[in-house]
Amino acid sequence: MKNKLTYIDLFAGCGGLSLGLHQSGWKGLFAIEKSIDAFKTLEYNLIDQKKHFDWPKWLPQQALEINEVLDKYKSKLEKLKGKVTMIAGGPPCQGFSMAGKRNEYDLRNDLINSYINFVKIVEPKIIFFENVKGFTMEFKKNKEKGIAYSSQVTQKLNAAGYFVKGQLVNFGDYGVPQKRTRFILVGIKKTLDNATQEKANEFFSSLENNKFEFLKEKGLNEKTNLQDAISDLFKQNGLEPTPDFPSFQSGIYGKQKGNYQKLMRQGIKNEIADSHRFPKHSQLIIERFKSILEETTDRRNFNISAEIQEKYNIKKRTVIPLNAQDKTPTITTLPDDYIHYQEARILTVREYARIQSFPDWYKFQGKYTTGGKLRVQEVPRYTQIGNAIPPLFSEQSGLILKSLINL
């Protein structure tokens, strides 16, 4: 562990943050994620394939819940005190999400306290925390008299001995083909030599200043749009049986167009893209999607109008025909919220992954989607991606976080 930039990924999901940290030269100690499906994806790609984690013998290499780890392994965690460079990750955000009903009493919000307890025990040198935009908004009924959760977390981490700075960041400004604004918080331990509040603030200015050079080195720019991301993945390119679900059809790669696709396809030799399984839409749905695409040519990336909803008897709250020439809106965990910009269908898992900047070698595990009561229990592939931090952004963050260590 000596002389390494080490971190622990809390609420790791399928590994979007860890992948970016891996690509920017960090070494993982372990990751905590309670979803079996999401952990399988992280395990397959980052533990088995990339050997990214120095997993301790005392911790089972499996899906785990943070409070279970705090209860069972507190003495082991205490031995890590001061030896870990960073704690990264943010608790699940459903209670704060703008996409659904915001609920301050959502039990998942209590995981914030578990996160802070973990920080207090391990005492990393720096903290990197991510959450949804709604995390910065006030809950009018809460006991703290309407103070936003972001302010409460800032106060608690400050009391725990960290200089902290939180800010809203749009990942779309950093080369990701999606308008996705998230709350990012960076903390630096006050006892570090030369640690100051300005150093915590510096993260955001350095991130902004460094993005042009970072993207240029990769042959990219911050304006990457949806067409740049997925125009080699058309259904019309041809179909083959899906390798892991032969009763479905998957798309084969089209001609590579542009540097973003080149980066995503680096090292790929297969003809069939992973997780590029097309949904089995009924003819009625296909015709409806075709009509909506024709009727919304001048209104893309917005929810369909009340008139169109009524015309096609659509009860769904969100149906957004996408715009090829723009970044997508924030993609959610529900793929049927969006219609492909050119083909009358929803997006595939691989197209979702491209929008979130996961490279094509990153293979997703578990079910593709789920519904009904299982929706609250399972984390299928679409959900894993919709919940992730884009690796292209976390790689840029990892590089700046490294520079903060050399205070």
CA pair distance 144, 150, nearest whole angstrom: 12
CA pair distance 150, 131, nearest whole angstrom: 9
The domain 6-220+390-405 belongs to what CATH superfamily?
A: Vaccinia Virus protein VP39 (3.40.50.150)
Going through 180-288 in order, the beta strands assigned E by DSSP cover: 181-189, 239-242, 245-252, 272-277
* CATH entry, 226-386, from 3.40.50, 3.60.21, 3.90.120, 3.90.25: 3.90.120
Q: In what order do the strands lie in the sheet with 245-252?
A: 239-242, 245-252, 272-277
Q: Which structure tokens are listed for 66?
A: 């943070």
pLDDT tens for the chain, residues 1 to 407: 445 899 999 999 999 999 999 999 999 999 999 999 999 999 999 999 999 999 999 999 999 999 999 999 999 999 999 999 999 998 875 544 444 444 444 444 578 889 999 999 999 999 999 998 887 776 555 444 446 778 888 999 999 999 999 999 999 999 999 999 999 999 999 998 888 888 889 999 999 999 999 999 999 999 999 999 999 999 999 999 999 999 999 999 999 999 999 999 999 999 999 999 999 999 999 999 999 999 999 999 999 999 999 999 999 999 999 999 999 999 998 899 999 999 999 999 999 999 999 999 999 999 998 766 676 566 799 999 999 999 999 999 999 999 988 76
Catalytic status, residue 93: yes
The structural domains of the chain, with segments of one domain joined by +, span: 6-220+390-405, 226-386
Give strand pairing partners of 168.
183
Count of beta carbons in the 10 Å neighbourhood of residue 247? 7
CA pair distance 392, 171, nearest whole angstrom: 9
Question: Residue 195: what pLDDT?
Answer: 83
- Amino acid identity of 6? T
HSE toward the beta carbon, residue 262, CA cutoff 13 A: 6
pLDDT tens per residue across span 184-243: 999 999 998 888 888 889 999 999 999 999 999 999 999 999 999 999 999 999 999 999
HSE toward the beta carbon, residue 366, CA cutoff 13 A: 23
Catalytic annotation, pick one of 8, 93, 119, 273: 93
